[in-house]
Structure 1
C-alpha cells in the first residue's frame, strides 16, 4: 500500500501579497507552497521523506505525475523487461529521487538514502493511481487555504491533465 503525504512549512510561508488567481507556472512550481513530502510503503513500514522544509509540494506532486507517465512510455507496458529510468530533482538542491520501472514494478530510492537500503517497490498501476489522487487532494487542500487558487487556469489545466484514475 502506498501513502503519499505532505506538510507545509511555517519557516517558508508564501508571500502575503500573492495573487493565487494569476500566479504563473514558475511561481506555482517553485516559489509557493513549501514544506516536506513523503512516500511510504505501509506494508513494509518504510518511507522516503524530506525534512528540509523548503520543498515546493505542488511541484513534487506535479513532477511525480509526470514521471509516472514517462515510466509508461514502453508500448509493451508491464510486459517489458527493459528498465526505464526517471529522476525527480529537488529545487535548490543536488538531491534526487530515482525511479526505475521494469515489468509492472517501479523501484524508488533517493540520493540521501544509504546505498545498502533496498528501494521502495510498487506496482506501476498503483503508483499512477496514488500519485494522481495525491495531486488532486493536494490541490483541493491548497484551494481551501488560498483564495483565488481555484480560479487559476494553470491549476485547471493541471487538474484536467492528471484526473483521478
Structure 2
C-alpha cells in the first residue's frame, strides 16, 4: 500500500505567503504557488518503507508538480529524481518493467511498487490537496495554474 499525505501543521503554517493580506490566490503564478505557498508536512510510505521527509515546510504544490513530472518519466521508462525547494535531498525513481524502485537520500528505506499504484497514490493526494485548499481558499480554485495539475 502506498500512502502520500500532507498536513498543514506546525508553527510555520502561517508563514506561507497565502497568509499575506491582500494576496489574490486566483492570479498567483505557478512558480510562486510551487515555492512560496502552502507549506506542509509530507508523509510518504510504500508498504513498510518509510520515505517521509524528516523536515517541515515542504511546499505541497511543488511536491505535486514534481511528482507529476516524475510519473511522466516513469511512463516513458525513464529513471528520474525529484528534489525539494528547501534542501538538496532527492527521491529517486528507477523503473523496473511495470514496477518502480523508490529510494531517497534522506533515509535508508527503499521500496518497489507498481507504477500504477504510485500514480494512483499521487492522484489521491492531488485531489485531497485541491479539494481541501479550494474550500479553505475559494479564490485558489480559480487559479488557471492548477488546471495543469489536472491534465
Task: Give the TM-score category using the shorter length.
Answer: 0.7 to 0.9
* Contact 2:7/2:41 (<8 A) preserved: yes
SS of the residue corresponding to residue 75 of structure 2 reads coil
Matched, 1:155 2:149: no
2:127 aligned to 130, 136, 146, which one?
A: 136
SS of the residue corresponding to residue 121 of structure 2 reads helix
So what's the TM-score if we normalise by structure 2?
0.88
- Cα shift readout 1:34-74 (whole Å, capped 9, x = no counterpart): 11212212xx4332112321111121122112201111114
1:11 counterpart residue number: 11
* Contact 1:29/1:58 (<8 A) preserved: yes
Larger radius of gyration: 1
CA distance in 2, matches of 1:53, 1:145: 21
Alignment RMSD: 1.6
Gaps of 5+ in 2: none
2:43 aligned to 38, 57, 80, which one?
A: 38
Runs of 4+ displaced beyond 3 Å = none
SS of the residue corresponding to residue 20 of structure 1 reads coil
SS of the residue corresponding to residue 82 of structure 2 reads strand
CA distance in 2, matches of 1:10, 1:113: 22
Gaps of 5+ in 1: 75-83
**How many residues are paired up?**
146
So what's the TM-score if we normalise by structure 1?
0.81
* Contact 2:53/2:106 (<8 A) preserved: no
